[in-house]
Amino acid sequence: MQLSFYDLEDKDSIDNELLEKSCIKRKPRLVSLFSGCGGMDLGFKKAGYDIVYANDFDADAQKVYEKNIGDIDKRSILDVPVDEIPDCDILNAGFPCQPFSNAGNRKGVKDSRGNLYKECLRVIKEKQPKVIVFENVRGLLSIKDEKGNLLIDTIVKNLNEIGEGYNVNYKLINASDYGVPQNRIRVIVVAFRKDLEETFVFPPTKNKVGLSIGNIIDIPKEIPNQIDWEFSPQALSLIKLIPEGGSWKSIPYELLPDRLKRIRDNMKKYHAPNMYRRFARNEIAGTITASAQPENCGIIHPLEDRRFNVREIARIQTFPDDFAFFTDEKKSVQNMYKVIGNAVPPLLAEVIAKAIKKQLKNKFY
C-alpha cells in the first residue's frame, strides 16, 4: 500500500533509506475555490492529487460535492479568512463565468461576480502554491477591466507580482480535443511559480473517434438519474417539427411564432442564430450550459422530443455513471442541469492534471 506523508503520525521515524529511494511520496495538496459540484476536483483526484480544501457558495453544488467527493466549505469565499485555508501545492478555481459569457450580459468586472477572481489572488498571495489552474469561458479573453485593459492581461500581471511571480500560459481550447464528447470552448490558464523554472506546455490534442452522441446516450436502465426536465408546451410544439440534425431553421416559415419570423426575416441583423439545435447521433454534442434552454444550446435528444436527461448530460460532461445527482423533485431536476452545465468536464481536468504532474515530475515533493 502506498502511504502519504500525511498518513503517518510519526514522520521522524520514517526510514531514511526509504525516503532516498522515493518509496514514500505524498500526493500534491490541492486547494479548490469555486469548486461547483466537483468536475475539476474529480479530474484532479483521479490524477492523484489530494484535495485538502474545497469551497463553493451554491447549495445545489454543495450537496452533489458532499455526496461524491467530500467536505466542502459552504461559506462565501468573501467570508473565509486565508489562515483557515490549508497550505497547498496547487490551487484551482473556476471563478464565476457568467459576467464573461456570451450567454450572459457581459458586464464583466462591473458585475460583482466578475471581480471574484481577486479572491483567488488573495489566497494565492498568502499560500503561494507551486501551481495555479483557472478555467473560464472564452469571454475572459475579450472583456476589459476597470482601467480598460484586457482582463486576461491584468490577471497575468497580477500573478507576476505575487511573491517571486508566476510563469503563466493560457489557451483557448475545445474540450473535444482532449477526449470530451462535447464541443465546449473554454480558456484554461496554468501558472507555475517561477522558482520551478518551468512554463506549462499544453498536452497534444487527441483524435475525436468515438465522441459522437450516439456512442453516449445508450444507457442501461439501471443507471440512476435518467430523468429529464420537461419542455414548456410552446417549446415542445416547435421541437416536434425539428428532424434529427436540424434546428429551428428546419421549421416551415408559416409554422414559426412571430418572434422567430422576425429573426428569419433579418438573419444578418440577428447573426443567423442556431437555436433549437437537435444534434444528430453521428455528431459531437454542443456545449452543455447551465440554463439548458433549447434557444441557446443543443439540449434536444436526437430521436425523442425531450431534453437530454440528467445522466445523458452528465455523460456528455464526462461524469462517471456512479457520480450521483439529486433528482427527487421537479426543482431538483432543473438545478441538476445547472450544476452539471456549470462544471468543468472531469476528463478535461484529468488531462490537464496529468500533464502538470508529468512536466513537474518530482518538483511537487
Catalytic residue among 23, 37, 88, 97: 97
**Identity of residue 106:** R
C-alpha dist (Å) from residue 93 to 30, 90, 228, 284: 11, 10, 29, 27
Q: Which segments in the chain show pLDDT lower than 50?
A: 1-23, 100-113
Report how far residue 14's alpha carbon sits from residue 261's, in angstroms, rounded to the nearest whole number: 74
Do the beta carbons of residue 64 and residue 38 sit within 8 Å? yes
Rg (CA), the chain: 22
Question: Residue 174: helix, strand or coil by DSSP?
Answer: strand
Residue 7 is predicted with a pLDDT of 39
Known catalytic membership, residue 37: no
Q: Is 167 helix (H, G, I), strand (E, B) or coil?
A: strand
Span 316-345, pLDDT tens digits: 999 999 999 987 777 799 999 999 999 999
Element holding 55 (H helix, E strand): strand 50-55
Looking at residue 8, its pLDDT comes to: 34
Q: What is the pLDDT of residue 15?
A: 43
